[in-house]
Amino acid sequence: MKRVYNFSAGPSMLPMQVLEKAANDMCCYGESGMSVMEMSHRSPEYDAIIKEAEALLREIMEIPDNYKVLFLQGGASTQFAAVPLNLMNKNGKADYILSGQFSTKAYKEAQKYGDVVAAASGKDVNFSVIPETTRESFRADADYVHICFNNTIYGTKFNYIPDTGDIPLVADMSSCIISEPVDVSKFGLIYAGAQKNMAPAGLTLVIVREDLIGNADEKTPAMLDYKLMADNDSMYNTPPCYCIYVAKLVYEWIKELGGLTEMKKLNEKKAALLYDYLDSQDYYIAPVKKESRSMMNVTFVTGDADLDKKFASEASAAGLKNLKGHRSVGGMRASIYNAMPYEGVEALVAFMKKFADENPKA
Ligand SMILES: *Cc1c(COP(=O)(O)O)cnc(C)c1O
Protein backbone atom coordinates (compact mmCIF):
# COMPACT_ATOMS: atom_id res chain seq x y z
CA MET A 1 0.00 0.00 0.00
CA LYS A 2 1.13 3.54 -0.78
CA ARG A 3 2.05 5.77 2.17
CA VAL A 4 -0.19 8.77 2.70
CA TYR A 5 0.77 12.27 3.78
CA ASN A 6 -0.22 12.31 7.43
CA PHE A 7 -0.83 15.81 8.78
CA SER A 8 -1.75 14.55 12.26
CA ALA A 9 -0.81 16.77 15.21
CA GLY A 10 0.44 13.72 17.10
CA PRO A 11 1.25 10.92 17.07
CA SER A 12 2.57 11.98 13.71
CA MET A 13 4.82 11.06 10.82
CA LEU A 14 8.28 9.62 11.34
CA PRO A 15 11.00 9.88 8.67
CA MET A 16 11.00 6.99 6.16
CA GLN A 17 14.68 6.38 6.83
CA VAL A 18 13.89 5.87 10.52
CA LEU A 19 11.00 3.50 9.85
CA GLU A 20 13.11 1.47 7.43
CA LYS A 21 16.00 1.24 9.86
CA ALA A 22 13.64 0.18 12.66
CA ALA A 23 12.02 -2.39 10.34
CA ASN A 24 15.41 -3.74 9.44
CA ASP A 25 16.34 -4.11 13.12
CA MET A 26 12.90 -5.34 14.13
CA CYS A 27 13.60 -9.01 14.78
CA CYS A 28 17.33 -8.96 15.43
CA TYR A 29 19.16 -5.89 16.64
CA GLY A 30 22.87 -6.06 15.77
CA GLU A 31 24.41 -9.22 17.16
CA SER A 32 21.93 -9.49 20.02
CA GLY A 33 19.64 -12.05 18.36
CA MET A 34 16.56 -10.22 19.64
CA SER A 35 14.55 -7.11 18.96
CA VAL A 36 15.08 -3.91 20.98
CA MET A 37 11.56 -4.44 22.36
CA GLU A 38 12.62 -7.71 23.95
CA MET A 39 15.86 -6.54 25.47
CA SER A 40 16.59 -6.02 29.15
CA HIS A 41 17.05 -2.32 29.78
CA ARG A 42 20.05 -3.35 31.91
CA SER A 43 21.78 -5.21 29.04
CA PRO A 44 25.00 -3.85 27.53
CA GLU A 45 23.28 -3.55 24.11
CA TYR A 46 20.51 -1.40 25.51
CA ASP A 47 22.89 0.64 27.62
CA ALA A 48 24.72 1.58 24.43
CA ILE A 49 21.44 2.63 22.79
CA ILE A 50 20.27 4.96 25.57
CA LYS A 51 23.74 6.48 26.01
CA GLU A 52 24.04 7.08 22.27
CA ALA A 53 20.55 8.64 22.19
CA GLU A 54 21.52 11.08 24.93
CA ALA A 55 24.89 11.89 23.33
CA LEU A 56 23.27 12.57 19.95
CA LEU A 57 20.58 14.77 21.45
CA ARG A 58 23.20 16.72 23.40
CA GLU A 59 25.15 17.16 20.19
CA ILE A 60 22.31 18.30 17.92
CA MET A 61 20.71 20.57 20.54
CA GLU A 62 24.08 21.76 21.90
CA ILE A 63 22.88 21.08 25.44
CA PRO A 64 25.31 22.58 27.96
CA ASP A 65 27.04 20.18 30.39
CA ASN A 66 25.26 21.57 33.41
CA TYR A 67 21.91 20.25 32.12
CA LYS A 68 20.51 16.77 32.75
CA VAL A 69 18.71 14.92 29.98
CA LEU A 70 15.93 12.65 31.25
CA PHE A 71 13.98 10.08 29.25
CA LEU A 72 10.69 9.67 31.12
CA GLN A 73 7.13 8.43 30.70
CA GLY A 74 3.70 9.92 31.32
CA GLY A 75 3.54 12.39 28.45
CA ALA A 76 3.89 16.15 28.59
CA SER A 77 0.73 16.20 30.74
CA THR A 78 2.56 14.48 33.61
CA GLN A 79 5.10 17.30 33.51
CA PHE A 80 2.28 19.75 34.25
CA ALA A 81 2.46 18.31 37.81
CA ALA A 82 6.14 17.32 37.93
CA VAL A 83 7.34 20.86 37.18
CA PRO A 84 5.62 22.54 40.18
CA LEU A 85 6.42 19.59 42.48
CA ASN A 86 10.12 19.87 41.67
CA LEU A 87 10.63 23.58 41.06
CA MET A 88 8.05 25.51 43.09
CA ASN A 89 10.15 25.05 46.18
CA LYS A 90 11.52 28.42 47.31
CA ASN A 91 8.57 30.78 47.58
CA GLY A 92 5.79 28.45 46.51
CA LYS A 93 4.95 30.76 43.60
CA ALA A 94 4.97 30.38 39.83
CA ASP A 95 3.87 32.57 36.92
CA TYR A 96 2.31 31.12 33.76
CA ILE A 97 1.80 32.64 30.34
CA LEU A 98 -1.47 31.35 28.92
CA SER A 99 -1.16 30.98 25.17
CA GLY A 100 -3.53 28.10 24.51
CA GLN A 101 -5.08 24.95 25.88
CA PHE A 102 -1.98 23.10 26.99
CA SER A 103 -0.53 26.05 28.86
CA THR A 104 -3.92 26.53 30.53
CA LYS A 105 -3.98 22.88 31.56
CA ALA A 106 -0.44 23.21 32.91
CA TYR A 107 -1.50 26.33 34.85
CA LYS A 108 -4.55 24.63 36.38
CA GLU A 109 -2.50 21.60 37.40
CA ALA A 110 0.17 23.79 39.02
CA GLN A 111 -2.51 25.63 41.04
CA LYS A 112 -2.93 22.46 43.08
CA TYR A 113 0.56 22.93 44.48
CA GLY A 114 1.01 26.60 45.24
CA ASP A 115 0.40 30.25 44.47
CA VAL A 116 0.15 30.21 40.70
CA VAL A 117 -0.98 33.17 38.60
CA ALA A 118 -1.43 33.96 34.93
CA ALA A 119 1.16 36.63 34.13
CA ALA A 120 -0.29 37.13 30.63
CA SER A 121 -3.03 35.55 28.57
CA GLY A 122 -4.16 35.43 24.96
CA LYS A 123 -7.59 34.08 25.85
CA ASP A 124 -9.50 37.28 25.02
CA VAL A 125 -8.27 37.09 21.40
CA ASN A 126 -8.99 33.35 21.19
CA PHE A 127 -5.25 32.62 21.44
CA SER A 128 -4.63 33.95 17.92
CA VAL A 129 -1.52 35.82 19.04
CA ILE A 130 1.21 35.17 21.62
CA PRO A 131 0.98 37.63 24.54
CA GLU A 132 3.81 40.16 24.81
CA THR A 133 5.65 40.20 28.11
CA THR A 134 8.47 42.15 29.74
CA ARG A 135 10.43 41.38 32.87
CA GLU A 136 7.86 43.43 34.79
CA SER A 137 5.13 40.99 33.78
CA PHE A 138 6.47 38.48 36.31
CA ARG A 139 6.53 38.48 40.09
CA ALA A 140 10.11 38.95 41.25
CA ASP A 141 9.76 36.11 43.75
CA ALA A 142 8.23 33.56 41.37
CA ASP A 143 10.11 30.25 41.49
CA TYR A 144 9.74 29.89 37.73
CA VAL A 145 7.87 31.16 34.70
CA HIS A 146 6.12 28.62 32.48
CA ILE A 147 5.40 28.95 28.77
CA CYS A 148 4.21 26.68 25.98
CA PHE A 149 6.65 27.55 23.19
CA ASN A 150 4.58 26.23 20.29
CA ASN A 151 0.81 25.95 20.61
CA THR A 152 -0.17 22.82 18.75
CA ILE A 153 -3.92 23.45 18.70
CA TYR A 154 -3.97 27.12 17.69
CA GLY A 155 -0.89 27.09 15.47
CA THR A 156 1.00 29.83 17.28
CA LYS A 157 4.57 30.06 18.46
CA PHE A 158 6.62 32.40 20.62
CA ASN A 159 8.77 34.51 18.31
CA TYR A 160 10.73 35.66 21.35
CA ILE A 161 12.10 34.13 24.52
CA PRO A 162 10.49 35.95 27.47
CA ASP A 163 12.97 37.94 29.55
CA THR A 164 12.49 36.60 33.05
CA GLY A 165 15.72 37.95 34.53
CA ASP A 166 17.00 35.45 37.10
CA ILE A 167 13.74 33.52 37.27
CA PRO A 168 14.10 30.11 35.60
CA LEU A 169 12.06 29.80 32.42
CA VAL A 170 10.25 26.48 31.87
CA ALA A 171 9.04 25.63 28.37
CA ASP A 172 6.72 22.97 27.04
CA MET A 173 8.26 22.29 23.62
CA SER A 174 6.25 19.18 22.76
CA SER A 175 5.36 20.30 19.26
CA CYS A 176 8.52 22.17 18.23
CA ILE A 177 11.37 20.27 19.89
CA ILE A 178 14.29 19.67 17.49
CA SER A 179 12.56 21.61 14.69
CA GLU A 180 15.18 24.39 14.86
CA PRO A 181 18.13 25.40 17.05
CA VAL A 182 17.24 26.82 20.48
CA ASP A 183 19.56 28.33 23.03
CA VAL A 184 19.04 25.82 25.85
CA SER A 185 20.94 28.05 28.29
CA LYS A 186 18.04 30.55 28.17
CA PHE A 187 15.80 27.94 29.82
CA GLY A 188 15.81 26.36 33.26
CA LEU A 189 13.82 23.40 32.02
CA ILE A 190 12.49 22.18 28.67
CA TYR A 191 10.06 19.31 28.38
CA ALA A 192 8.38 17.59 25.46
CA GLY A 193 6.16 14.63 24.75
CA ALA A 194 7.99 12.72 22.02
CA GLN A 195 5.05 11.79 19.80
CA LYS A 196 4.91 15.07 17.85
CA ASN A 197 8.40 15.42 16.47
CA MET A 198 10.70 12.80 17.95
CA ALA A 199 9.50 9.25 18.46
CA PRO A 200 6.40 7.11 19.03
CA ALA A 201 4.11 8.00 21.95
CA GLY A 202 5.34 6.87 25.36
CA LEU A 203 8.50 8.92 25.82
CA THR A 204 8.75 12.30 27.50
CA LEU A 205 11.95 14.29 27.32
CA VAL A 206 13.07 16.61 30.14
CA ILE A 207 16.15 18.81 29.88
CA VAL A 208 16.79 20.49 33.21
CA ARG A 209 19.52 22.70 34.67
CA GLU A 210 21.29 20.79 37.44
CA ASP A 211 21.00 23.46 40.11
CA LEU A 212 17.20 23.36 39.86
CA ILE A 213 16.83 19.76 40.96
CA GLY A 214 17.15 18.08 44.35
CA ASN A 215 14.59 20.19 46.21
CA ALA A 216 11.35 18.51 45.21
CA ASP A 217 8.37 18.71 47.54
CA GLU A 218 8.60 15.80 50.00
CA LYS A 219 5.29 14.36 48.78
CA THR A 220 6.58 14.17 45.19
CA PRO A 221 6.01 10.66 43.83
CA ALA A 222 9.34 8.94 43.21
CA MET A 223 8.50 8.61 39.53
CA LEU A 224 8.17 12.40 39.22
CA ASP A 225 11.32 13.29 41.13
CA TYR A 226 13.88 14.66 38.66
CA LYS A 227 16.78 14.12 41.07
CA LEU A 228 15.96 10.45 41.50
CA MET A 229 15.59 10.01 37.75
CA ALA A 230 18.82 11.92 37.04
CA ASP A 231 20.80 9.96 39.65
CA ASN A 232 19.63 6.74 38.01
CA ASP A 233 20.31 7.87 34.41
CA SER A 234 16.58 7.57 33.58
CA MET A 235 16.68 3.93 34.74
CA TYR A 236 15.13 4.11 38.19
CA ASN A 237 12.58 1.79 36.67
CA THR A 238 12.10 0.42 33.16
CA PRO A 239 12.36 3.35 30.72
CA PRO A 240 10.32 3.49 27.48
CA CYS A 241 13.04 1.43 25.79
CA TYR A 242 11.75 1.14 22.26
CA CYS A 243 10.71 4.81 22.02
CA ILE A 244 14.18 5.88 23.12
CA TYR A 245 15.67 3.64 20.43
CA VAL A 246 13.46 5.25 17.74
CA ALA A 247 14.34 8.70 19.11
CA LYS A 248 17.99 7.79 18.65
CA LEU A 249 17.30 6.95 14.99
CA VAL A 250 15.54 10.31 14.59
CA TYR A 251 18.53 12.14 16.10
CA GLU A 252 20.85 10.27 13.70
CA TRP A 253 18.64 11.28 10.79
CA ILE A 254 18.82 14.95 11.83
CA LYS A 255 22.57 14.79 12.31
CA GLU A 256 23.04 13.29 8.83
CA LEU A 257 20.82 15.98 7.38
CA GLY A 258 23.16 18.66 8.72
CA GLY A 259 21.76 19.25 12.21
CA LEU A 260 19.11 21.64 13.46
CA THR A 261 20.25 24.59 11.32
CA GLU A 262 19.51 22.52 8.23
CA MET A 263 16.32 21.13 9.79
CA LYS A 264 15.12 24.68 10.37
CA LYS A 265 15.75 25.62 6.72
CA LEU A 266 13.68 22.68 5.53
CA ASN A 267 10.90 23.49 7.98
CA GLU A 268 10.91 27.17 6.98
CA LYS A 269 10.66 26.23 3.33
CA LYS A 270 7.65 23.99 3.96
CA ALA A 271 5.87 26.53 6.18
CA ALA A 272 6.55 29.36 3.70
CA LEU A 273 4.98 27.38 0.86
CA LEU A 274 1.76 26.99 2.82
CA TYR A 275 1.61 30.47 4.39
CA ASP A 276 2.52 32.21 1.11
CA TYR A 277 -0.37 30.44 -0.54
CA LEU A 278 -2.72 31.33 2.34
CA ASP A 279 -1.67 34.99 2.09
CA SER A 280 -2.12 35.08 -1.69
CA GLN A 281 -5.85 34.31 -1.80
CA ASP A 282 -9.03 34.93 0.15
CA TYR A 283 -10.85 31.60 -0.01
CA TYR A 284 -9.09 30.30 3.09
CA ILE A 285 -8.47 32.40 6.18
CA ALA A 286 -5.46 31.91 8.47
CA PRO A 287 -6.67 33.08 11.91
CA VAL A 288 -3.25 33.44 13.54
CA LYS A 289 -1.57 36.86 13.53
CA LYS A 290 1.50 36.77 11.29
CA GLU A 291 4.00 37.51 14.05
CA SER A 292 2.84 34.49 16.06
CA ARG A 293 2.65 31.87 13.32
CA SER A 294 3.88 28.37 14.03
CA MET A 295 6.21 26.64 11.60
CA MET A 296 4.89 23.25 12.75
CA ASN A 297 1.10 23.57 12.99
CA VAL A 298 -0.67 25.67 10.37
CA THR A 299 -4.35 26.45 11.00
CA PHE A 300 -6.87 27.75 8.45
CA VAL A 301 -10.62 27.88 7.88
CA THR A 302 -12.95 28.48 4.93
CA GLY A 303 -15.35 30.41 7.16
CA ASP A 304 -18.08 27.84 6.47
CA ALA A 305 -18.25 24.83 8.83
CA ASP A 306 -19.82 22.58 6.16
CA LEU A 307 -17.08 23.40 3.65
CA ASP A 308 -14.45 22.75 6.32
CA LYS A 309 -15.95 19.32 6.89
CA LYS A 310 -16.05 18.60 3.16
CA PHE A 311 -12.45 19.75 2.82
CA ALA A 312 -11.16 17.37 5.48
CA SER A 313 -13.06 14.39 4.11
CA GLU A 314 -12.11 14.98 0.44
CA ALA A 315 -8.50 15.64 1.39
CA SER A 316 -8.48 12.36 3.29
CA ALA A 317 -9.82 10.52 0.23
CA ALA A 318 -6.98 12.11 -1.77
CA GLY A 319 -4.35 10.72 0.64
CA LEU A 320 -3.92 13.89 2.73
CA LYS A 321 -4.88 12.62 6.17
CA ASN A 322 -5.85 14.20 9.49
CA LEU A 323 -6.37 17.78 8.33
CA LYS A 324 -9.40 18.35 10.52
CA GLY A 325 -8.68 21.03 13.13
CA HIS A 326 -8.69 20.28 16.86
CA ARG A 327 -12.21 19.57 18.13
CA SER A 328 -12.12 22.74 20.24
CA VAL A 329 -11.33 25.17 17.38
CA GLY A 330 -12.68 23.55 14.21
CA GLY A 331 -11.48 24.38 10.71
CA MET A 332 -8.31 22.76 9.44
CA ARG A 333 -4.85 22.19 10.82
CA ALA A 334 -1.87 20.93 8.88
CA SER A 335 0.86 19.67 11.18
CA ILE A 336 4.05 19.76 9.16
CA TYR A 337 6.65 18.45 11.57
CA ASN A 338 10.23 17.50 10.66
CA ALA A 339 9.23 14.23 8.98
CA MET A 340 6.67 15.78 6.59
CA PRO A 341 8.38 15.98 3.20
CA TYR A 342 8.20 19.16 1.10
CA GLU A 343 6.23 17.16 -1.48
CA GLY A 344 3.51 16.60 1.13
CA VAL A 345 3.00 20.36 1.52
CA GLU A 346 3.06 20.79 -2.27
CA ALA A 347 0.34 18.17 -2.57
CA LEU A 348 -1.69 19.95 0.12
CA VAL A 349 -1.45 23.34 -1.59
CA ALA A 350 -2.42 21.80 -4.94
CA PHE A 351 -5.42 20.17 -3.25
CA MET A 352 -6.42 23.46 -1.59
CA LYS A 353 -6.41 25.25 -4.97
CA LYS A 354 -8.49 22.54 -6.58
CA PHE A 355 -10.95 22.46 -3.70
CA ALA A 356 -11.40 26.26 -3.83
CA ASP A 357 -12.09 26.11 -7.59
CA GLU A 358 -14.58 23.30 -7.26
CA ASN A 359 -16.44 24.70 -4.27
CA PRO A 360 -17.21 28.38 -4.81
CA LYS A 361 -18.68 30.10 -1.75
CA ALA A 362 -22.25 31.30 -1.91
C1 LIG B 1 0.43 17.17 22.71
C2 LIG B 1 0.85 18.22 23.65
C3 LIG B 1 0.74 18.06 25.04
C4 LIG B 1 0.15 16.82 25.66
O5 LIG B 1 1.05 15.79 25.50
P6 LIG B 1 0.81 14.35 26.11
O7 LIG B 1 2.11 13.69 25.81
O8 LIG B 1 -0.36 13.77 25.37
O9 LIG B 1 0.54 14.49 27.56
C10 LIG B 1 1.18 19.07 25.86
N11 LIG B 1 1.71 20.19 25.35
C12 LIG B 1 1.82 20.39 24.03
C13 LIG B 1 2.41 21.65 23.52
C14 LIG B 1 1.39 19.41 23.14
O15 LIG B 1 1.49 19.62 21.82
Bridge partners of residue 300, in order along the sequence: 332
pLDDT at residue number 328: 82
Mean pLDDT of the chain: 97
pLDDT at residue number 1: 83
Q: How far is the CA of 75 from the centre of ligand 1 (A)?
A: 7
Q: How far is the CA of 362 from the centre of ligand 1 (A)?
A: 38
Atom of ligand 1 nearest to the CA of 77: 9
Report the nearest-CA residue for atom 8 of ligand 1: 75
Provide residues with CB under 6 Å of ligand 1: 10, 75-77, 102, 148, 152, 172, 174-175, 193, 196
- What's the one-letter identity of residue 131? P
Contact between 100 and 153 under an 8 Å Cβ cutoff? The reply is: yes
Atom of ligand 1 nearest to the CA of 100: 13
Report the nearest-CA residue for atom 3 of ligand 1: 76
Which residues, at least 6 apart from 338, have a Cβ–Cβ distance to it below 8 Å? 15, 178, 179, 197, 250, 254, 263, 266, 267
Task: Output the tens digit of pLDDT for each of the chain's 362 residues.
Answer: 889 999 999 999 999 999 999 999 999 999 999 999 999 999 999 999 999 999 999 999 999 999 999 999 999 999 999 999 999 999 999 999 999 999 999 999 999 999 999 999 999 999 999 999 999 999 999 999 999 999 999 999 999 999 999 999 999 999 999 999 999 999 999 999 999 999 999 999 999 999 999 999 999 999 999 999 999 999 999 999 999 999 999 999 999 999 999 999 999 999 999 999 999 999 999 999 999 999 999 999 999 999 999 999 999 999 999 999 998 888 999 999 999 999 999 999 999 999 999 999 87
Q: In testing the pocket of ligand 1, which one of 175, 189, 203, 335 has its CB within 8 Å of the most ligand atoms?
A: 175
The 10 Å CB-count burial string (b at 16+, else e) for 290-312 is eebbbbbbbbbbbeeeebbeebb
Q: How far is the CA of 107 from the centre of ligand 1 (A)?
A: 14
Q: How far is the CA of 170 from the centre of ligand 1 (A)?
A: 15
Q: In testing the pocket of ligand 1, which one of 98, 102, 243 has its CB within 8 Å of the most ligand atoms?
A: 102
